[in-house]
Chains A and B, each alone.
Chain A
Amino acid sequence: MNIYRFIEQNMDQVLTLGLEHLYLVFLSLFIAMVTGIPTGIAITKNDRLAKKVLDVANVLMTVPSIALFGVMLPVLAPFGVGLGKVPAVVALVLYSELPIIRNTYIAIKNVDSSLVDAGKGMGLSRWQLLREVEIPIAIPVILAGLRTAAVMTIGIAAIAAYIGAGGLGVFIQQGISRSYEEMIITGALGVSILAILVDTGMALIERCLTSKGLKIEA
């Protein structure tokens, strides 16, 4: 078994697939973020709705990823996108919603009510209150949700290779069907390294974006 040689000889493909993997992950994370964070903030105002939304997201998380890909195939097939990147991104977005919505909801809910009252007392409007007080305080928790989502998405994107979405999972998929061990290991290592890198990267971003005052407190 010679993994180094395999990687050396296929460097181009490793890079292309790695970038494709990252593209899938970040595209879906972006969509999930743009939809999830506002949803999370919106439901803080209504407990019953919040419970419903979180329940739905919870059930979605419970659905096994490969089953979700499977179910989406006949649903999306009439539009001609049953296989490929579209169902993969849809599934990845759905999976990322729960950690993002839940963390946003919990974070905003847990902002000390005296701080909110103080903001109100200073004459901040609802929007200003959100922007100046609630979001800065909630941001570490929201980012933690994003981080969970990112790591999970990388793993699920690997499985998406089986529905033709590309990415590093292709190495694992083709390696298994060809019994080509170097290829399997390259794919597995690539995905794992990607996940660990993104995890640490997000941890760093988390630290940078947390406002200074909050860090002193903690």
Chain B
Amino acid sequence: MTFVIKIYRYALFGLLFFFGIKAQQIGLVEYLSDPFEMEYVLELVRQHLVLVGSSMLMATVIGLSAGILLTRDRVKKYTTGVMYVLSLGQTIPSLAVIAISLSLLGIGTKPAIFALTIYSILPIARNTLAGIQAVPAGMTDAARGIGLTPFQTLLSVELPNAASVILTGFRIALVINVGSAPLGFLVGAGGLGDLIFTGIDMMMPVKLLAGAIPTTLLALIGDYACELLGLALIPKGIRIQNN
């Protein structure tokens, strides 16, 4: 089996090498070293990041507060209903969400951010809910026993314990978000989708790859950054316990 793993590693290197040669052959390197094109690509990356950043920010605020609210005693009875509706919403394909928000909000950045926000709320809300629900009752009881108010309990017991689950939700949302953001181009929001869709329409692999590769890299970097964020945010005591 170690043999298989070794082959796998060589295959990976080979593939990278192959893509490098291919990129050079079709003129990707040349395209990107043209200062004007480079500037354009960078501008699109910036637009892309604005789309992802603002929608993720809103989705995190809404998703977190929704998840926390749904675990409070007073609204607990609605939890199943709300979660059902939300997960039904997630079944709806991203292109459909973007298309519908186009007809609601018109052309521009607004419908794209709106659609991305809506689409990213569920994973965050669901994981916040699941994370807080999974905190052992003994812990919250103990917190109440030492005289913490419900708000203090939330801040210093429930949220830290749920942090890793919440972060997983955030990570899923982020990956979905970065992946759906190129579709924003279709409703006039710009972003790297510009290069991808134009590249497909013009059958220009160079343009297409100049859009597709940064999009992929952004998604992978985001995914990895979440992992690092996890190391920073999750209290040490809990991390050891999990291992």
A residues apposed to B, CB below 8 Å: 46, 48-49, 52, 59, 61-71, 73-75, 77, 82-83, 151, 154-156, 158-159, 162-163, 169, 172, 175-176, 181, 184-185, 187-189, 191-192, 195-196, 199
- List, in ascending order, chain B residues with CB within 8 A of A196's CB: 88, 91-92
Dominant SS among interface residues on chain B: helix
CB–CB B93/A184 < 8 A: no
CB–CB B1/A64 < 8 A: no
**Closest residue on chain B to residue A192 by CB atoms:** B92
- List, in ascending order, chain B residues with CB within 8 A of A192's CB: 91-93, 96
> What does the 1/0 interface line of B15-51 toward A look like (CB < 8 Å)?
0000000100010000000000000000000000000
Question: A62-B220, A66-B193, A176-B187 are contacts. A48–B211 as well, Cβ < 8 Å?
Answer: no
> How far, in Å, is A151 (CB) from chain B's closest CB?
5
**Closest residue on chain A to residue B28 by CB atoms:** A74
**Closest residue on chain B to residue A196 by CB atoms:** B91
> How far, in Å, is B194 (CB) from chain A's closest CB?
11
List, sorted by A's number, 20 A–B pairs whose CB atoms are closer than 8 Å: A49-B5, A52-B8, A62-B216, A63-B220, A64-B181, A64-B212, A64-B219, A67-B196, A74-B26, A155-B96, A162-B200, A163-B200, A176-B99, A176-B187, A184-B99, A184-B100, A185-B100, A191-B92, A192-B96, A196-B92
Q: Is B197 an interface residue (CB 8 A)?
A: yes
> What does the 1/0 interface line of B196-238 toward A look like (CB < 8 Å)?
1101100101001101110110011001000000000000000
- List, in ascending order, chain B residues with CB within 8 A of A175's CB: 99
- Of the candidates A62, A156, A187, which one forms a contact with B223 in the assembled complex, judged by CB atoms under 8 Å apart? A62
- Of the candidates A64, A74, A155, which one forms a contact with B182 in the assembled complex, judged by CB atoms under 8 Å apart? A64
A77–B204 CA distance with the chains assembled, in angstroms: 11
CB–CB B94/A70 < 8 A: no
A151–B122 CA distance with the chains assembled, in angstroms: 15
Instruction: Return the 8 tightest CB-CB contacts between A and B, nearest first.
Output: A155-B93, A64-B179, A70-B212, A74-B205, A188-B96, A67-B212, A192-B92, A188-B99
- List, in ascending order, chain B residues with CB within 8 A of A75's CB: 22
- Of the candidates A52, A64, A195, A199, which one forms a contact with B216 in the assembled complex, judged by CB atoms under 8 Å apart? A64
Q: Is B183 an interface residue (CB 8 A)?
A: yes
A65–B187 CA distance with the chains assembled, in angstroms: 18
- List, in ascending order, chain B residues with CB within 8 A of A82's CB: 203
- List, in ascending order, chain B residues with CB within 8 A of A184's CB: 99-100, 102-103
A-B contact count (CB 8 A): 134
Question: A62-B175, A176-B187 are contacts. A77–B93 as well, Cβ < 8 Å?
Answer: no
- List, in ascending order, chain B residues with CB within 8 A of A155's CB: 92-96
Tell me the residues in window 128-186 of chain B with beta carbons closer than 8 Å to chain A beta carbons: 175, 178-183, 186
- Of the candidates B1, B96, B200, which one forms a contact with A172 in the assembled complex, judged by CB atoms under 8 Å apart? B96
A86–B95 CA distance with the chains assembled, in angstroms: 21
**Closest residue on chain A to residue B100 by CB atoms:** A188
> How far, in Å, is A163 (CB) from chain B's closest CB?
6
- Of the candidates A49, A61, A162, A181, which one forms a contact with B4 in the assembled complex, judged by CB atoms under 8 Å apart? A49
- List, in ascending order, chain A residues with CB within 8 A of B183's CB: 66, 159
Question: A48-B1, A63-B216 are contacts. A69–B93 as well, Cβ < 8 Å?
Answer: no
